[in-house]
Amino acid sequence: MDVHAFQGLDLSSVDEVCHALEAAAEAGLNAACRRGPIDWVEGPGRLIATGDIHDNPLHLSRIIEAAGLDGDPAQTPESERSHVTLHELIHGEHLMGGVDFSYRALTRVAALKRAFPEHVHVLLANHELAQIVGSGIVKDGVRVVEAFNDGVERVFGDDAARVHEAIEVFVRSMPLALRCETPRGVIQCSHSVPSPAMMGRFDASVLDRDLAEDDYRPLTGSAHMMVWGRHYDAESLEDLVERWGVTMFILGHEKVPEGARFVEPCAVVLNSDHGNGVYLPIDLANPPEPRDAPRSAKRLSEPVSS
């Protein structure tokens, strides 16, 4: 499915790719919904929450369609637009000769962010962060950062450094979370939250202040911990509930074979990349209880109109 924001975008043009990435960063940082390192919206309205995408073009298109953002921004009424979270966009499993071209997914989403800056919320995730800081990630035997770099260099040659710089600008503009104020409390979407072992070193004020370079630093930075946490338990989640005033977390990062899973006491974990991947539509005027939310998840293997 063609998406209006992507139409005419030449993904082999260094000028167009860099402009899309840099313009998206500017649009995100200057959006009315941006408050420091997070995006912030209030109901009423509709949220399309997602998990990891990992360069799945069909699922990405269906998510955008479900959010009502697949048309001309100038002709898409506000009432038809949902808020949508997108994260973990790069490093897919379908390589070409061992090379990863998922910079294209990142650039398409950048174009979408520029077109709908108040509705598209591109959350920082561990793979995007790893890509700009050079952290090693091995996935299914593939060194994904290196494979991504090879893709950029294969397409852009001597201009690859310019594209990498634009990617870093876009990634550094990504919010750590989307906070949704609803009549039933705060829904917070982020790629992850710190694991229990990280909580003693984690600075929970990271959502309330401007990010510093140290926040992105592997293992010790609080932004890094926000996107790398796994195996959180009730105690660590309750600690964050108390600190942040959150009623429900919607997270990705962990493998969920069934697509959506409830984690006590108030977290929903989603996957959007694999065959059972889902998106979760939420009425921000009447959100579900966290325990009930996974039952509302929609399969991305099925057309949105079905």
Residue 267 scores a pLDDT above 80: yes
pLDDT of amino acid 134: 81
Give the residues across from 270 on adjacent strands.
Answer: 260
Q: Which residues contact 41 (CB under 8 A, 6 or more apart)?
A: 33, 83, 178, 179, 180, 181, 284
Cα 106 versus chain centre, distance: 10
Mean pLDDT of 108-128: 97
pLDDT averaged over the chain? Answer: 94
- Answer for the pair 194, 297: CB distance below 8 angstroms, yes or no: no
Residue 152 scores a pLDDT above 50: yes
Residue 148 scores a pLDDT above 70: yes
For residues 126 and 74, the model is more confident at 126
pLDDT of amino acid 1: 53
Residue 138 scores a pLDDT above 80: no
Instruction: Indicate the CATH number of 11-299 among 3.20.20.370, 3.10.310.30, 3.60.21.10, 3.40.50.12780.
Output: 3.60.21.10
pLDDT of amino acid 71: 84
pLDDT of amino acid 305: 61
> Cα(148)–Cα(21) distance, rounded to whole angstroms?
16
Mean pLDDT of 128-134: 93
Strands 38-42 and 34-35: antiparallel
Residue 306 scores a pLDDT above 50: no
For the stretch 41-54, pLDDT in tens is 998 999 999 999 99
Residue 214 scores a pLDDT above 50: yes
- Answer for the pair 37, 123: CB distance below 8 angstroms, yes or no: no
Name the token pair of 130.
């790893």
Residue 136 scores a pLDDT above 90: no
pLDDT confidence tier of residue 39, bands split at 50, 70 and 90: very high
Poorest-confidence range of 69-73, 137-141, 173-177? 137-141
pLDDT confidence tier of residue 107, bands split at 50, 70 and 90: very high
Mean pLDDT of 241-254: 96
pLDDT of amino acid 2: 62
pLDDT exceeding 70 applies to what percent of the chain?
99
Report which residue type is found at 163: V
Percent helix, strand and coil across the chain, each rounded to 5? 40, 20, 40
Task: Give the side-chain half-sphere CA count within 13 A for 220.
Answer: 4
pLDDT of amino acid 77: 78
Residue 227 scores a pLDDT above 90: yes
Mean pLDDT of 105-109: 98
Residue 4 scores a pLDDT above 90: no
Cα 194 versus chain centre, distance: 16
